[in-house]
Amino acid sequence: MTVMWEFLTFQRMASGALLQLVFWAGVGGCLFGAYTLYKLENWAWPFPLLLGPILVRVVCERAIIAFRSYDRLVAIEGALMARPERAAR
């Protein structure tokens, strides 16, 4: 129940899981595109087959880095809030 509440109040991000779905959809699109080019007897069909998934991976990783850095900052903030205040010098 707590996880659902965190999700509904935007304390937990859904984009990380959605990016994984976007990645696999992109890989599927690359495979479908390569197959279509192969069936059309186009000479360029190996490019989306080999380079497409790599490009989709790089784009998704750049987006995931943003969300992971946010999670790390939240963890640092939580650790700093849990620490007792130091006495003023």
pLDDT band at 86 (very low <50, low <70, confident <90, very high): low
For the cut 70, the answer to whether the pLDDT of residue 82 exceeds it is yes
Count of CB atoms within 10 A of residue 56's CB? 19
The verdict on residue 89 lying in a domain is no
The verdict on residue 47 lying in a domain is yes
Whole-prediction pTM value?
0.72
The verdict on residue 87 lying in a domain is no
Domain count, the chain: 1
26: containing domain: 15-82
More confident residue, 51 or 89: 51
The verdict on residue 88 lying in a domain is no
The verdict on residue 5 lying in a domain is no
Q: How many CA atoms lie within 13 A of 77 on its CB side?
A: 6
